[in-house]
């Protein structure tokens, strides 16, 4: 595999979300045509190998992801055992996010503190201290979007995606 294709593979792995050709080119430091060629080479390489991963074209770009044949294995090995209250708190964060933790507690009650701790441990929510230092901003992560397969929903049903840091 050529060096640019390898760089694109690393970019897709590290970003863990679909990227457009323009975004890939910007991250790789090359022009669009070179990014397209590198991506095609990478896609061809993955298509030839019998691997659990694939480069897939989604409505929002290209991503490195687990082949669909292995999704049951993910559920078996990495189940997110979230209670109803925690799921409701997660839904509130996804729909209102970024949201201040104090505002979330007003919406969901004091159990939200425990829910947030659990959601951060699972990697579904990110906490950032507010500039005044009194509370945290909460927002869903890329893992949330991938785990719940939101890329397969129509865009108007999707919660706001977190800004990359």
Domains and CATH numbers, the chain: 3-72 (1.10.10.10), 80-157 (1.10.10.10)
Contact in structure between 1 and 51 (CB atoms under 8 Å): no
Mean pLDDT, the chain, integer: 84
Percent of the chain exceeding pLDDT 70 equals 85
pLDDT digits (tens, 9 = 90+) for 48-69: 988 888 998 988 899 888 888 8
Residue 26 has a pLDDT of 96
Residue 165 has a pLDDT of 45
pLDDT digits (tens, 9 = 90+) for 6-51: 999 999 988 878 899 999 999 999 999 999 999 999 999 998 988 8
Q: How far apart, in whole angstroms, are the C-alpha atoms of residue 100 and residue 86?
A: 17
| pLDDT tier at 142, thresholds 50, 70, 90 | confident
Q: How distant, in Å, are the alpha carbons of 90, 130, 134 from that of 145?
A: 12, 24, 28
Contact in structure between 163 and 157 (CB atoms under 8 Å): no
pLDDT digits (tens, 9 = 90+) for 59-117: 889 988 888 887 777 666 655 677 888 888 998 998 887 899 999 999 888 899 999 99
The yes-or-no verdict on residue 152 having pLDDT over 70 is: no
């Amino acid at each position: 595999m050529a060096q640019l294709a390898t760089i694109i593979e690393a970019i897709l792995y590290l970003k863990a979300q679909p990227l457009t050709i323009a975004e890939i080119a910007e991250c790789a430091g090359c022009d669009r045509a070179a990014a397209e060629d590198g991506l095609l080479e990478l896609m061809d390489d993955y298509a030839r190998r019998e691997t659990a991963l694939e480069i897939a074209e989604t409505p929002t770009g290209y991503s490195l992801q687990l082949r669909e044949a292995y999704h049951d294995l993910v559920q078996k090995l990495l189940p997110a055992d979230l209670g109803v209250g925690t799921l409701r708190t997660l839904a509130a964060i996804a729909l209102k996010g970024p949201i201040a933790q104090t505002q979330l507690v007003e919406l969901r009650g004091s159990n939200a503190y425990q829910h947030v701790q659990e959601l951060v441990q699972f990697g579904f929510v990110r906490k950032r201290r507010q500039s005044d230092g009194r509370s945290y901003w909460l927002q869903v992560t890329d893992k949330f979007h991938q785990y719940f397969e939101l890329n397969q929903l129509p865009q108007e049903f999707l919660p706001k995606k977190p800004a990359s840091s």
